[in-house]
Every structure is written in structure tokens, then in C-alpha cells.
Structure 1
Amino acid sequence: MTTAPQLRNRYLQDSVNTASPAKLLVMLYDKMILDLVQGEEALRGGDREVANYKLNHAQEIVLELRTTLNVDAWDGAPRLANLYGFILTELIGANISQSPERVAGCRELLEPLRDAWREAASATAAG
């Protein structure tokens, strides 16, 4: 018998496997920002273990975005790579110093990017 969590996991895996590259990028941004929100909340609540886990996962996503970015693809790519480097440094520092404010600053930089990628993905899908 298949359980509800198994069905959910299969649905999520199928969603990832069938998503376009643009949709995958948006999914990564969504998860990264969710990690930042939850990490910030955990820091504010004094839950160091959850904060560390969420911030480390967000760092892994930033690293993935940075390493898969083709800096020769467009003229803004090197600046985006630099932003990813800055975000990574800030998240490491926020985790060490347990600073929810630094996490919030990263989230505030990344949310408009996520929204722009979502818009671009929608335009690509519609076009």
C-alpha cells in the first residue's frame, strides 16, 4: 500500500524530472528563499540546529547556482556570479554570528531575482 508521504515524494520527483530548465531554476530559488525564511525564523527563536540546517541548505543551493552559471552566456552573468559569492559569504557569516538580520538581507536581495526568473520562465513557457 502506498502512503500519502510516498505519493507526495513521487509527485515532487516527477515534477522535478519533467520541469524545464527555467522552471527548475525557479524551483531552486523558491526552495532557497524558503530555507532563508525558515533559517531566519529559527535564529530569532533560538533554534540553532534548525537554523544551521536551513542556512547550510541555502548555501548549497547558492553554490549550485554559482557553479552552473555560464558567465559567458550574457553580459550580466559575471555580476550575478559576484552576487552569489556575496550571498554565500553573508550566509556563512550569518550562520556563524547567528544573525537573522544578515539572513533577511540576503533574502531581500534574492526575492526580486526569483521573481524576475519566474517572470522569464512564464514568458518562455507562454511563447
Structure 2
Amino acid sequence: MYATPTVRNAQSAYRDNAVATASPARLLVMLVERLVLDVERGLAAQRAEDWPQAHHHLMHAQDVVVELESSLDVSAMTGGRELAALYEYLRTRLVVANVRRRTATTEEALGLARQLCETWREAAMTAAAR
């Protein structure tokens, strides 16, 4: 069933409000959750051989990783350089998965994205508990 314009507007307002009121840690978690979703959707599209949709989702996943890279201050945290290298590796795998249409590479990227997501969730929960 398709959402009516009123429902879509309400959903959009809810998302906008959630982003506007989220803590920096929650915003980071939301971003990596979106990364996982994009890679999952890209993989599903690849498996269906829907190459335009796969491209769309994998490009958005690459954009998310670029945002993660650009917001990282490697000198402000222990392991910052290693995290930057992981982001770069993930972005490169997403490019290869997209250009070469390799589901195995997309699956590898998805595994990395899920691990990142879980790590950032745990970190956010730890920070919130303090």
C-alpha cells in the first residue's frame, strides 16, 4: 500500500525532528545504520540484477563513508588513524562492488558496515551511561 502525501509529510517531519534533536553520538549511529541499509539494498539489487538500483544504493553508501571520513579527527582519538584506514578500505570495496558488480565484494562491505554499526552503537551506549 502506498503512503498518502499526509503520511509521507508526517514521516518526513518525524525524521527531520529525530535528526535535529539527536546527540552527536546518536547522529553517528544513525549514519552508520543508514550505511548498513544502503549496502543491504545494494546487495539485494545486485542479486536481482537491477544494476541501476544497485548503483544508486552503493553510491549513497559511498557518500556515507565519505561523510564518516570527513568528520573524523584522527588526532582526537586513540585509533583514529586505524579507523580512517578502515573507512578508506570500506569505501574502496564499495567502489569495486559497484563497478565490477560483485556480490561477494558487496557482502564483504556489508560485514564491515555491520561491524562498524555495532561498534558505534556500543560506544554511544557507553558514552550515554556516563
TM tier, shorter chain? Answer: over 0.9
**What residue in structure 2 maps to residue 93 of structure 1?**
96
Q: 1-side partners of 2:47 and 2:113: how far apart? A: 20
**What residue in structure 1 maps to residue 111 of structure 2?**
108
**What residue in structure 2 maps to residue 59 of structure 1?**
62
Q: 2-side partners of 1:79 and 1:126: how far apart? A: 26
How far did 1:74 drift? 1.7
How far did 1:32 drift? 0.5
**What residue in structure 2 maps to residue 80 of structure 1?**
83
Q: 2-side partners of 1:126 and 1:87: how far apart? A: 30
**What residue in structure 2 maps to residue 35 of structure 1?**
38
Matches within 5 A, 1:19-30: 19-30=22-33
How far did 1:5 drift? 0.6
Runs of 5+ consecutive residues of structure 1 not aligned to the other structure: none
Match of 1:75, SS state, is coil
> Which portions of structure 1, spanning 4 or more consecutive aligned residues, are displaced by more than 3 angstroms?
none
Given the alignment of the two structures, is residue 123 of structure 1 paired with residue 126 of structure 2, yes or no?
Answer: yes
How far did 1:110 drift? 2.1
CA contact (8 A) 1:94 1:100 kept: yes
**What residue in structure 1 maps to residue 18 of structure 2?**
15
Q: 2-side partners of 1:123 and 1:74: how far apart? A: 16
CA deviation profile, 1:41-90 (whole Å, cap 9, x unmatched): 10011000110000000000000000110000123010110111111111
Q: 2-side partners of 1:80 and 1:107: how far apart? A: 17
CA contact (8 A) 1:41 1:100 kept: no
How much identity, in percent, do the aligned residues show? 38
Q: What number of residue pairs does the alignment pair up?
A: 126
Give the residue type in structure 2 aligned to 1:80. L
TM-score of the superposition, structure 2-length normalised? Answer: 0.93
